[in-house]
Amino acid sequence: MDKEVIDYLDLKNITITTAEAEPICGEYEQYTLIRFMLLSFASIIALAGMLGNAFLVMFFTTRKLPNTPPTLYPGVLAFLDWCMCVMYIALFGADAAVVYLNSKTLFLIYHAYVVPAFVVARITQLAIPYMLIFATLERYVWITSPLANRILKKMFSRRGRYITMLTTLAICVALRLPLGWSIIVYEFPDCPDFFRTKMANVAEWASESYMYHVYDFHILGVAQTFLPFVVLVVLNVMVVRKMIRVRSQSTAPSARMSISVEASTPFCTTPSPSECSGAKAELATNGFSSLLVPSYAYSRNASIATGQYDMGSISAGRPMSRKTDRAVRAAIYTMLGIVMSYLVSNSLHLVLTILERSGSPLLIDVEDPARASTFHTYFSDMVSFVYMFTSGARVLIYVMCNPTIRKDICRLLCDVFAKFHKAQLKQNAADGPTML
């Protein structure tokens, strides 16, 4: 039987045993002080990513107005990013703490939740690129006018968004759920080293099944890596070309016609006429500054109360200012940065998977075959960190591209500090009379 190891988020301590020589102890990895500090620092970044994505989830779910349907995909993506950061801490941060700190209690807890956590991580990995695809496609629909495709019209209607999102998540869960039966925790009761008595590893049936190997490596590899790669590249090229075309048309004298539309930004937090009119004025000069969470155009006869909206261009005939031009370029570059960071992480993941599936000697320590090589250790750490960082840093993308979210974050932080300062003043006032 060939030696195999599972790919990214592979729980690190895995091995395939042979029938001829049953190992006494499970495979292990060394945690030097430097590696422990690096993983601890990465876990702190993951914790910050958890807080940032939790704020984005709250932001997208609480800013519910009749004219803000585009917040669904960004909200789901923020939740998936939050899950990715949580799973990084649960799988990698906890593993480093178990080995380096020699905590027996944490060792037992870790192996109690490691399999379901691994399944959740892989479901999240599979779902994130498709939420990116739908968000990017929605962006393309937003700048396309008129939209003649009936499928896209239904797909990006208020009801169609929820159906598409729920169907996609259900498919991702169904595709990755068999992983829960292909990974088990092996016991090594005769091992003298307590921290090698348990090990998460591929089940025997999965390691011997050629069909499962084809399904897990080839089919899901295409579904998670190659297909999203091609679709995201094509969609972003289409978005860039469309934005260039809109820019050239909007600056041409023949295209400067008067269009009777009424628009509002997707994050007008107070529905008062005065503030919303100010939001409309801001959109008129900065209409493409929020490509990540786009706005929609409403005709004067549209009924906002019923959620009917036009998927057409909001400013096809409005000349762009230099400020808008800079916002367009920044938003496009940022979106391309998101996609490229995802593609880089997926490409690294693919390289690691190929090395592991082929049983490359680069992954095995020369002196101790039961221990992973230094190259395998740090390369897998880098892959997992890149995955986590692209999810944890998503809030920075929104802050850079969307001035409304940036202002809302600043307002939230100011409110928190103001409440803290007010509580301190009350505490000092209460303690004042008792002091001599």
Preceding amide of 319 cis, omega within 30: no
120 in any annotated domain: yes
Question: By the 8 A CB rule, do 25 and 191 touch?
Answer: yes
216 in any annotated domain: yes
245: helix, strand or coil: helix
pTM greater than the 0.75 cutoff: no
23 in any annotated domain: no
28: helix, strand or coil: strand
Does 65 score more than 80 pLDDT?
no
* Residue 57 CB contacts under 8 Å (≥ 6 apart), including other chains: 75, 78, 79, 82
Does 172 score more than 90 pLDDT?
yes
Question: By the 8 A CB rule, do 391 and 125 touch?
Answer: no
Please give the share of the chain, as a percent, with pLDDT higher than 90: 14
> Could you please report the per-residue DSSP string of 376-425?
HHHHHHHHHHHHHHHHHTHHHHHHHH-HHHHHHHHHHHHHHHHHHHHHHH
365 in any annotated domain: no
Spatial CA neighbour of 336 closest among 385, 285, 291, 293: 291
274 in any annotated domain: yes
Q: What is the pLDDT of residue 84?
A: 93
Let me know the angle formed at the C-alpha of 290 by 285 and 293, rounded to the nearest 5 degrees: 140
- What tokens appear for 57 in the block? 């989830």
Task: Please report, for the domain that includes residue 107, its CATH number.
Answer: 1.20.1070.10
The answer to which of 91-100, 181-190, 419-428 has the lowest mean pLDDT is 419-428
> Total structural domains in the chain?
1
66: helix, strand or coil: coil
45 in any annotated domain: yes
Quickly state the pLDDT bin for 130 (edges 50, 70, 90).
Answer: very high
Let me know the angle formed at the C-alpha of 292 by 270 and 146, rounded to the nearest 5 degrees: 90
> Could you please report the per-residue DSSP string of 180-198?
HHHEEEEE-TT-SSGGGSE
CA atoms within 13 A on the CB side of 346: 23
Q: What is the pLDDT of residue 369?
A: 67
- How far apart CA 320 and CA 310 sit, in angstroms, is 21
Most trustworthy range by pLDDT among 122-136, 286-300, 397-411, 416-430: 122-136
Does 87 score more than 90 pLDDT?
yes
Q: What is the pLDDT of residue 137?
A: 84
196 in any annotated domain: yes
Residues in a beta bridge with 198: 187
140 in any annotated domain: yes
What φ, ψ does residue 28 adopt, rounded to 5°? -140, 170
The answer to which of 58-67, 120-129, 150-159, 216-225 has the lowest mean pLDDT is 58-67
Domain extent, residue 156, equals 33-360+372-412
